[in-house]
Amino acid sequence: MLAAMQMTTDVSEEVTILSLDGDLNATNSRDVESYLSNIIDEGNRKLLINLDGLNYISSAGLRVMLMANKKLKNAEGELRLCGLNDTVKEVFEIAGFHMILNIYVNQEEALKDF
């Protein structure tokens, strides 16, 4: 059975930090996408998604990350990701997303020079 997704938002300086805990899959990807769209539509241009607590990401979850990246780029903003565990990191690498998205080891590194 897949774990439920928990989303928490924090703000550090001008950066909005969204932490995802659980599994990001087809069941909850629309909710996460809608949540991210709202954050961006509210005028947030610096977004960090902390995936420290993410156990699993499906192709639907990867699509959500691409959508957020594209939407922020169109709004002259920036998306950064951090905290990918080995399993999630492997999914990003297999899909080639590590070449497209700004991925950092941890939140501290991701917030530097943001």
Q: What is the pLDDT of residues 18-77, one digit of tens each?
A: 999 999 999 999 999 999 999 999 999 999 999 999 999 999 999 999 999 999 999 999
HSE toward the beta carbon, residue 86, CA cutoff 13 A: 0
pTM for this predicted structure: 0.95
Q: Where are the alpha helices (DSSP H) in 3-114?
A: 29-41, 59-74, 86-95, 107-111
With cut-offs at 50, 70 and 90, classify the pLDDT of residue 89. Answer: very high
Per-domain boundaries in the chain? 6-109
Q: Is 7 helix (H, G, I), strand (E, B) or coil?
A: strand
Phi, psi of 51 (to 5 degrees): -105, 20
Q: What confidence category does residue 13 fall into, taking pLDDT thresholds of 50, 70 and 90? A: confident
User: Does the domain spanning 6-109 belong to CATH 3.30.750.24?
Assistant: yes
Report the length, in residues, of the chain.
114
